[in-house]
């Protein structure tokens, strides 16, 4: 293949398309003549890979004359036939074996996903720079630095739907089922996944929307009975920051304290604020962002990571139905 770039894997495809196993592209070919240990499959059609009883055979020999050991084979394009050598099969037992021509099923599906990924670029190029980048997705139990980067689920799903439609059409021609899967991605009513993404109704995780300035809790590690349950206000600090809120002193409202690590000295978590009492009310956290703790008692070392984007940053990929006005 010219490229192996893909947004999705075979496990993703099988999750969104239950009939994957129906689309093995291999076709059965039949022996027509046996001469000694050489078995001919005339009018076989082009064969790039040969399978015997489900097993992929080593690559073809470079010439017809080189087919002289068990398991060796050659496709003769001039006569459109496969020549296969095996001394274990007679003119009778050769017909008891199953011979197939085609592509390894795993390689076939991987190429289908590559093709679908490149096709997806055609729909997104006017909105996004492609290829799209992986990004750390939300994992509330894992610190941000340890989260594995992944493609957005909407991208993975779209590629699988495109691949599903292509697989069905390649084997079955015009198909309502193929149309159904393709319409989940794009359709004249603009209600498909990529339609809504291009219209700004759906957004990728990397994009900035109107709520990012309000902050979002991306990770929590809480041993005590008190939790950060609410965020409010608008952050107005760095264009991007990852705040780490940590309990400094164990205790209930008015006793427990917290501190906030924030961007400074050219790095995330580069500085820390002076500890403040936990009140239980809506109290200032950092940079215009407020929060509320709730519970019986905070425990020293409890941590929350809050991702924030400055209110001064422009939104990306706004809805086509939205007009932003600035004074």
pLDDT tens digits, 43-73: 999 999 999 999 999 999 999 999 999 999 9
Q: Is residue 217 part of a domain?
A: yes
- Among the three residues 43, 73, 101, which one is the final residue of a domain in this structure? 101
Which range, of 141-155, 188-202, 261-275, averages the lowest pLDDT? 141-155
- Whether the predicted pLDDT of 95 surpasses 70: yes
- Among the three residues 101, 125, 149, which one is the final residue of a domain in this structure? 101
pTM (two decimals): 0.76
Q: Is residue 248 part of a domain?
A: yes
Residue with the two structure tokens 């190029």 = 125
| Per-residue confidence (pLDDT) for residue 140, from 0 to 100 | 79
How many domains, the chain? Answer: 3
- Whether the predicted pLDDT of 208 surpasses 90: no
Q: Is residue 266 part of a domain?
A: yes
In this structure, are 145 and 82 located in the same domain? Answer: no
In this structure, are 93 and 156 located in the same domain? Answer: no
Phi and psi (nearest 5°) for 206?
-80, -10
Q: Is residue 54 part of a domain?
A: yes
Instruction: Quote the CA–CA distance of 158 and 144 in Å, as a whole number.
Output: 26
SS3 content of the chain, % helix, strand, coil (to 5): 25, 30, 50
Q: Is residue 140 part of a domain?
A: yes
Q: Is residue 177 part of a domain?
A: yes
In this structure, are 123 and 191 located in the same domain? Answer: yes
Kindly write down the DSSP assignment for every residue of 116-185, as one continuous string. Answer: HHHHHHHHHTTTS-SSPPPEEPP-TTS-GGGPPEE--HHHHHHHHHHHHHHHHHHHHSS-HHHHHHHHTT
- Among the three residues 69, 101, 133, which one is the final residue of a domain in this structure? 101
**Helix, strand, or coil (residue 1):** coil
Provide the pLDDT confidence category of residue 215 given band limits of 50, 70 and 90.
Answer: very high
Strands laid side by side in the 226-233 sheet: 226-233, 289-295, 283-286
| Per-residue confidence (pLDDT) for residue 323, from 0 to 100 | 47
Containing structural domain, residue 237: 212-309
For the stretch 97-156, pLDDT in tens is 999 998 888 989 999 999 999 999 999 988 889 999 998 887 778 887 788 889 999 999
């Amino acid at each position: 293949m010219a490229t192996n770039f893909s947004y999705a894997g075979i496990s993703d495809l099988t999750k969104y398309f239950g009939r994957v196993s129906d689309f093995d592209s291999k076709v059965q070919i039949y022996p027509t003549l046996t001469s000694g240990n050489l078995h001919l499959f005339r009018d076989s059609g082009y064969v790039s890979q040969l399978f015997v009883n489900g097993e992929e055979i080593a690559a073809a020999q470079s010439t017809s004359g080189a087919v002289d050991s068990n398991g060796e084979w050659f496709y003769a394009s001039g006569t459109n036939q496969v020549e296969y050598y095996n001394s274990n099969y007679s003119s009778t037992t050769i017909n008891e074996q199953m011979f197939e021509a085609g592509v390894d099923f795993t390689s076939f599906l991987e190429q289908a996903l590559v093709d679908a990924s490149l096709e997806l670029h055609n729909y997104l190029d006017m909105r996004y720079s492609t290829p799209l980048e992986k990004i750390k997705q939300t994992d509330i139990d894992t610190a941000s630095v340890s989260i594995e980067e992944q493609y957005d689920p909407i991208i993975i799903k779209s590629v699988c739907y495109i691949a599903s439609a292509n697989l069905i059409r390649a084997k079955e021609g015009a198909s309502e089922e193929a149309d159904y899967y393709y319409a989940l991605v794009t359709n004249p009513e603009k209600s498909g996944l990529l339609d809504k993404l291009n219209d700004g109704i759906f957004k990728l995780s990397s994009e900035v929307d109107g709520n990012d300035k309000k902050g979002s809790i991306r990770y929590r590690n809480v041993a005590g009975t008190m939790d950060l349950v609410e965020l409010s206000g608008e952050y107005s600090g760095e264009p991007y920051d990852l705040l780490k809120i940590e309990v400094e002193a164990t205790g209930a409202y008015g006793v427990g304290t917290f501190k906030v690590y924030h961007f400074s000295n050219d790095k995330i978590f580069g500085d820390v604020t002076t500890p403040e009492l936990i009140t239980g009310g809506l109290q200032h956290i950092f940079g215009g962002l407020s929060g509320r703790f709730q519970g019986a008692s905070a425990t020293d070392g409890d941590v929350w990571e809050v991702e924030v984007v400055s209110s001064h940053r422009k939104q990306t990929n706004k809805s086509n139905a939205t007009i932003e006005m600035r004074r």
